[in-house]
Structures are given as structure tokens and as C-alpha cells.
Structure 1
């Protein structure tokens, strides 16, 4: 079954329903400054290194995109900082930095109707360290030794909850957990809250901190990870013939999404415009993509329809590109189904440098996509030495390229429970 041809409708013109990005915040393997993050990407720097957060010497995979020297100073008080799972620490810092970037600091928020500002930051795994420590306490010492923070700091909605408590935001608040499509699902849902008039502003994105023994061990058991321990910085190699699995990453990426009307009234700096998105499901397999690529191609087609964009207008795709044998080619084939002429399209893989951020992937890659739009520079896909012959789209191999982006698309797919899809 081929993906249907979609006639793009006119784009949204109602300023109450047009959605703009007025702030961005992140925590990444390259730090928490957005310009530094994107400069590292443009330089083709790899953030992958040997894991030292726990003793991984007996693991068959001993490397990942581990965040080092993270500081929450100025964003989280000392007592809470010691208690929190890294997943929520990353979320709080990225969320607060996004609000600051949007000129929505604490003093400004106090003057606003905070019931019209919501938070929707998801996680694929939740507080995995908190959960693992709780289980360990139960087994080794008994249930009386389980911390009272075990449940609250494990569940996936805690990022949104803590950020709302910290900032007093009383609008829509929940989380979505769809593995690596999590952040894109959150952007899509957040946009719809604004379009339905339920919020003026949404703080949306994803967060993850799974580089710990349980997380790495679990993905090793799934046989999903690259085992290139002798050369970790060259392990993530999207679309390369010698790819052997993905590399784990972590972090958080958060956007401030706001109605154009509200942003204009408060004189906000408009960074980019969210045009639309879509969500679909392969209904096929927990980990393998459909061979015909229908799940991906239909999601892309539906997102174009929602955005009011024709395929010819898109000239940049920030791809999922995890560096898995089946997934990379399935995604390319689906893109080629929708975009009949790919000669003007640039397509790159952010994960080649920062690893796969799981629930945070869509947030971090959305920021990379927006920076490509605003700077006119596309970061490279590194570690491309032996490109698959079926990949006929320009993947920006190893060196950045100057490229005026007309419409960019961020595609993040998820490989758990029937392979959900989300494109924005």
C-alpha cells in the first residue's frame, strides 16, 4: 500500500491558532547553552565517551552520550537537587532555561494568568535511577527501607509536575510516554491545546537519563546497541553500511510554544513557527519497522497536511537515523515515497554526535532543526564512510553545509509497543 497523495490545504491564518516558538532550553552532552550545543554539532564533534557513572567494565557495551559536569545551580535548591533523579534535574533546568529564553522569568510569570500556561514534558523511561534504587532497597533491606520518594520520582509525569510546582504554571499538565517519539508527541499535543483555546503558552518537550546500569543493561538485552567499544566516537553511523546499532544518549530539550496572538501582544521574540504535525502507528512489531515503510510515510504525509505544506516546500529533514540496520533504510524509503524529488533536500542525523536521547531525542533534535532554520547552516552526519547505495538523499556527510531552509521537518519514530510515529 503506497502512502496517499495529500493535497495540502491553506495554512492557518488565525493568530489565535498559529503557533510560534518563543523560547528554547536544553541539557545535553555538550552542556546547557544552545549556541554551544549547535556550534559543537556544526563542528562535527562527537559527544560519545566511555561510561564512568557506574562500573561498566563487565558490560558488552561500555560507552554512551553521558552528560558530565552538569550543574543545576540557580535552578534547583540543594536539598531537592540531592533527592531528584537526573531525569527530573535535566527537565527542570531545560524548562527553566527555555522560560528564561522566552523572557518568561519568575517576575514576569507572576504578572501573567498562569492558568493559561501549561506544561507537557514527557519521558520514555521516567526516573529510572529512582526506580532501580527503590527495587534494590526492597530486595536487600526490605520494604521499610524504601524511600518515600520512590514512587513520585519514578513516574513519568513528574517532570511536568515539578516544573509546574516550581513556576506556578496551572494550565494543562501531564506527560506522554512513547519512547523515542515522546517529545514530538508532546509538541503535537501542546500545539492542539493552544489551537483549542485551552492555553496561551505550553512548555513542551522531553527528558531522559537512562545511562545507568539498568538502562544500559536493558538495551543490551534488546540487542539494540552498537558494540564498537574500541572506537565509541565512531559507533553511531547512520546510513553507513557498517552500522551495528544505536548509541545511548540522555538529556532534555524543551520548547516554549505560544499562540501568535499572545506572543505578539507581549512583544515576544519569535524564533520559528510550528506549522503542524501528526502521529501514526505501524501496528506491526515491537522493534522492527514495516518493510513497506507505511507507518513513516503516512505520518509524514499527515503532518504535511496538518501543516498546510506541500512536499515541494520541505527542503530539510532532521531524521530519526538511529544507526540500526533496518530502521535507517526504512525511514529513507518512506521519505522518498512522500518526497518524489529529493534533489533539494538535505537530511542529517543528530544522533551521530549525541547518541539516542530516547524520550529526550525529539526535544534535542527539534532545537537542532530550529537552529538550522535560523542560522542557515546544516550540521553534518558524522561517521559516514561507506554510505548505503539506496540512500540517494544528501545526508550532509561529515562536514556542515550552508543551506537556506524553507520548511524543516523533525521525524522521530519509536520502537516500543507497535512502533508509534510522530513527525513535526
Structure 2
């Protein structure tokens, strides 16, 4: 694709977030740079009988920032988060869809991905059915639990009649959203795509299942230091919740509407691969993850020596962090020891289907502001395996022109997206 084909280059013009360390994008970014932890004892349900009692919860969130109370009562929490982050992103972009013609609306779409959708609707509906009978089950339960309803609600709010897409790929879900947005813009058929991910699966049954799998940190007495990617004392990830969205436009559309000053970064490339190995464990050599990074860089027309920052999947599990490090070494060769790497999960926990979306905000923020967020709690790297530059504990001033985000999901799903500084 010619570099001067601005109609087919995808740029980011707005950000939105709801996270355990801030319910808007600026607060999230400031706290991420400060190394603030969002992990604490669980308050949303009784953890008696659970081995794990900590999580990264969204706090003081009001769904009516993006919808009226009636809709809020009918919709699931993941929809609340997705709507709030999308609304913020649209506002930050300066887009006003109110006077758009039907033809322009046909050229705008939504990609909002999730891992679990409205899981609480199944749990609550089953309880109502058993206790009160079939006649008392909410008629809104099916729309509210549907994973696609987050994207649909965003499209209805802004009356966008282009594609409405929801992909479910476990913890890789929202990285895939950026690939889909990029492909839509590259097609030349679309001008605007609201893209991201939302997750609100922090429920007793999911929490118990992951705990019984041995995936979660049991550092109950020291929650703020429980998520410690690449550290030798890590013992599992911290369950989190939240959402993030970005507004992606064709560069031509952004420039023609006078929003050149709002362009934060370019979505330059993306790729997907599969390990085809195990339902939850990564393939030990990291081959699939490395191939995803290599293909994403190729798609962006970027060499490994041009990458300044990797926002790692970095889950704080014994298997992932070693495997991801191996994958980075395989994809980047000697450059692996020169590139900065960090993991937002050290502060916000693992947002599952929304993890890639909050990672994207970290990548975009680094390009915009020249700061790389740290890997909090990294005190003793797990040598000799985890021996790269993980930006331990303290943010770092650096010029970032190109950053990639990694998202690796259960089932061996690997997704990588490339962001770079936009130059017309």
C-alpha cells in the first residue's frame, strides 16, 4: 500500500477507558505511569471458601455516564464498561455524528470484542428460574448476555450503520479488534471504526474456576504486589475487569475534518497465529507468538530494529512470562535485548478480553508523550530465562516511534498489533 494513500491508512484520534486504576483514559494513563496498583481484596462478593481473595476491580463506576438508568438496569456490566469507554473515545476524537447523512453513517462501524460477555445474566437468570419460576426470568437476559451487544449498543447510540463486529478469542480478543479496524480502513470502504474490548467476568464461578486451575496469584496478604510479571516470585495472574476503546479513522478523513492535531498514532499492522497446542498453556518454544510478532511487523513494513517498545502480554504466570520472552527473542534476535518491554497487568491485573485494549492505550500514550510505563513489582527478574529490559518499577523517558502490543489467549490464540508515530 503506498504511504501516500491517506484514505487507507488508519489513525487513532480518541481514547477511552474504564480500568481498576482509573475510569477514564487520562486517569488510567497517569496512574499507569505512576506505577499505581489497582489490586485489592475483593468487595463485590463473599470470598469465604476461596483460596484466592484478591482482584483488580473497577471502583466508583457510574454506568449512567454513557446511558440512562433504564438501559443500565437492563444491560450487563461489560456493556456498561464498553459504552463508557467508547463514549469517552468519541468525545476525545471531536467527532460529532449528529449531523451525518445516512451515506456517511454507512461508512462507520464498531469492533468491540470480549471474552465472556454478560456472564452474570446466565447466573442471575438461572437463580431466578430456580427460585421464582420461568415467568420471572428477564426478557432482556439474552440481549444482555450476548457478547455482540456491547458493539451493537455503541452502534445504536451513534446510529452507525457500517459493520458491527465482535470477536471472541479469550485474552487475545481486543488486540484482534485493532486488526479488524485496520482492515476495514484499508479496504477504502470505511472512514471511522470505534475499536476496543470490554470485560466484566469477575464473578464467583469464573473466579473459582480460574483459582482451581491454578492460574491466579494467592498473594492475598499483599495484593498490591501480587501481579509481578517476569519476577522470579510470581505465582499467577490477578483477575481484572474493565474496558478501553479507541477511535480509528482513515488519515484522509481525520485530516479533512481538521483533526490532524488529534492524531495520536497510526495503526500500522497486525497479525494472528495459533499455537494449536493446549487449551490453556502456551506452546513452550513461543513459536506461534514469535510468528505473530514477525508477521505483524511485516504487515506494518517495520523491521525489528525499528521497534522501540513492546507492551507485553506479561501475565505474571510461571509459563507465560518465560514463553513470551522466548518468543520476543525469536522474533527480534539481537534486538530483543535493546527494546523496552513492560506489562500493564502488573498494575491493572488481567482484563482478559479487554487486556489488549488497555495495552493499546499504553502503546499510544508512549508514542504521544514519550514515556514508557513500568513493570511494577519487578524486583528480581526470573533469570536466566527472563533477562530482557522489562522497565522495572519506574517509568522511563524515551522517544517511542513504534510500539507493538501482544495478546495471547487460552487455546493458543496469538494476536499482535503495531502502532507508530503518524507522518503524512
Tell me the TM-score range normalised by the shorter chain. over 0.9
The answer as to whether partners of 1:172 and 1:199 remain within 8 angstroms in 2 is no
The answer as to whether partners of 2:64 and 2:72 remain within 8 angstroms in 1 is no
Q: Does 1:289 align with 2:321?
A: no
Query: CA-to-partner distance for each residue in 1:185-206, whole Å, 9 max, x for gaps?
Result: 1110121111112311111110
TM alignment of 1:40-189, pairs within 5 A:
40-107=31-98, 109=100, 113-189=104-180
2:378 is aligned, of 373, 378, 384, to: 384
What is the DSSP-based 3-state SS (H/G/I as helix, E as strand, rest coil) of the residue aligned with 2:252? Answer: helix
Q: Does 1:262 align with 2:253?
A: yes
Distance 1:265 1:371 in 2: 24
Query: CA-to-partner distance for each residue in 1:163-206, whole Å, 9 max, x for gaps?
Result: 11111111101200101111111110121111112311111110
Residue of structure 1 in register with 2:408 after alignment: 413
Residue of structure 1 in register with 2:221 after alignment: 230
Distance 2:331 2:65 in 1: 46
Residue of structure 2 in register with 1:336 after alignment: 329
Structure ranking higher in helix proportion: 2
The answer as to whether partners of 2:178 and 2:267 remain within 8 angstroms in 1 is no
Q: Name stretches of at least 5 consecutive residues in structure 2 with no aligned partner.
A: 418-424
Distance 2:189 2:103 in 1: 15
Q: Does 1:271 align with 2:264?
A: yes
The answer as to whether partners of 1:11 and 1:309 remain within 8 angstroms in 2 is no
Q: Name stretches of at least 5 consecutive residues in structure 1 with no aligned partner.
A: 1-9
CA spacing shift, 1:239–1:318, aligned 2, 3 Å: same
Distance 2:82 2:215 in 1: 26
RMSD (CA atoms): 1.5
Residue of structure 1 in register with 2:20 after alignment: 29
1:400 is aligned, of 390, 395, 412, to: 395
State the TM-score, normalized to the length of structure 1. Answer: 0.94
The answer as to whether partners of 2:230 and 2:322 remain within 8 angstroms in 1 is yes
The answer as to whether partners of 2:283 and 2:412 remain within 8 angstroms in 1 is no
Query: CA-to-partner distance for each residue in 1:342-372, whole Å, 9 max, x for gaps?
Result: 3431100100000000111111110011001
Distance 1:176 1:394 in 2: 32
The answer as to whether partners of 1:11 and 1:307 remain within 8 angstroms in 2 is no
What is the DSSP-based 3-state SS (H/G/I as helix, E as strand, rest coil) of the residue aligned with 1:267? Answer: coil
The answer as to whether partners of 2:231 and 2:382 remain within 8 angstroms in 1 is yes
Number of residue pairs matched by the alignment: 413
Residue of structure 1 in register with 2:421 after alignment: none
Tell me how far 1:60 sits from its aligned partner.
1.1
The answer as to whether partners of 1:373 and 1:406 remain within 8 angstroms in 2 is yes
